[in-house]
């Protein structure tokens, strides 16, 4: 089956974490992903660790894409970061508004992701492939669905090359969002974000934090397993594999895996999908 994969990591906090992540991306490299993305903390709080991780992956000859958030920053600071990435040969950026760090009151000079995309294009032309975020179940801070769709369209119109969605488990939400985006004139690829499930309690925390919905049938089933981690893992693999199969059948241009710095679940799902 020919479909483009990409995978996402968060920057490790310790030397041990860095060594573990090194082993993870080495394993995942066998899937030949289109790129490895590395997240960026609120207000750029993990900036150096993000850069170090991206630079190491790039130095290994693999395609890397740092996340770059603009909230709480300045044009000058963003310009410096873009140049650092250009200097080490990075050609793809995941451009996000980001979250304002706790206690920081000033949102900075670039307040929205479309402004960041426009700034990157103005400063660097076509050097970077620019990914942006999309929210099939709507951004938790959006005023209404129409406003959310228009925000997404503004990012595409500003020069984004493609989009990666927040994770979800309702394929209908993705298909509906893509149809709405196309109806609004958005033509860029919209790649579904996929979250493999190793721990239901951890998944529930992530979902609550980002506004993603865990369908009731899934939640009840996971809850029924209690602390049976083997059953949770097995059921999670089945659910996510079936979701990916439906997304591929619906014409998804790729799959973006939120790995949480683990290789095994993503590797198993890719194997089941014969990717």
Instruction: Report domain extents, the chain.
Output: 4-272
Structure tokens at 113: 């992701």
Contact by Cβ (8 Å): 97, 62: no
What is the reported pLDDT for 136?
A: 94
Structure tokens at 176: 């509906």
Q: 4-272 — its CATH code?
A: 3.20.20.220
Catalytic residues: 8
Q: How many residues does the chain have?
A: 275
Compute the distance between CA of residue 94 and CA of residue 36 in angstroms, rounded to an integer: 11
pLDDT, one tens digit per residue, over 212-237 is: 999 999 999 999 999 999 999 999 99
Contacts of range 204-209, beta carbons closer than 8 Å, 24 or more positions apart: 206/167
> Within the chain, which residues score under 50 in pLDDT?
none
Specify the pTM.
Answer: 0.94
What is the reported pLDDT for 125?
A: 96
What is the reported pLDDT for 72?
A: 77
Supply the DSSP string of 62-117, one letter for each residue: --EEEEEE-TTB-HHHHHHHHHHHHHTT--EEEEE---PPTT----BS--SHHHHH
Q: Give the alpha-carbon dihedral of 149, 151, 83, 37, to 10 degrees.
A: -30
**Burial tier of 59 (Cβ tally within 10 Å: 0-12, 13-18, 19+):** exposed
């Amino acid at each position: 089956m020919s479909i483009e994969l990409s995978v996402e990591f968060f920057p490790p906090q310790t030397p041990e974490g860095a060594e573990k992540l090194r082993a993870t991306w080495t394993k995942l490299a066998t899937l030949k992903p289109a790129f490895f993305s590395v997240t960026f903390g609120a207000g750029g709080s993990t900036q150096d660790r993000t850069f170090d991780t991206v630079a190491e992956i790039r130095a290994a000859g693999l395609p890397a894409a740092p996340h770059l958030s603009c909230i709480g920053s300045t044009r000058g600071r963003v310009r410096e970061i873009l140049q650092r990435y250009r200097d080490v040969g990075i050609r793809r950026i995941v451009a996000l508004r980001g979250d304002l760090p706790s206690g920081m009151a000033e949102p900075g000079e670039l307040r929205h992701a479309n402004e960041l995309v426009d700034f990157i294009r103005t400063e660097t032309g076509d050097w970077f492939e620019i990914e942006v975020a999309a929210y099939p179940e709507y951004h938790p801070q959006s005023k209404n669905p129409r406003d959310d769709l228009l925000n997404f369209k503004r990012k595409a119109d500003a020069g984004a090359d493609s989009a990666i969605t927040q994770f979800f488990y309702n394929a209908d939400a993705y298909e509906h969002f893509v149809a709405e985006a196309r109806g609004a004139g958005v033509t860029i690829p919209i790649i579904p974000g996929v979250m493999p499930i190793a721990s239901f309690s951890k998944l529930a925390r992530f979902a609550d934090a980002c506004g993603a919905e865990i369908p009731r049938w899934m939640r009840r089933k996971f809850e029924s397993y209690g602390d049976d981690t083997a059953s949770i893992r097995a059921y999670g693999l089945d659910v996510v594999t079936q979701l990916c199969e439906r997304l591929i059948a619906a014409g998804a241009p790729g799959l973006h895996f939120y790995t949480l710095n683990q290789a095994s679940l993503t590797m198993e799902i890719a194997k089941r999908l014969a990717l």
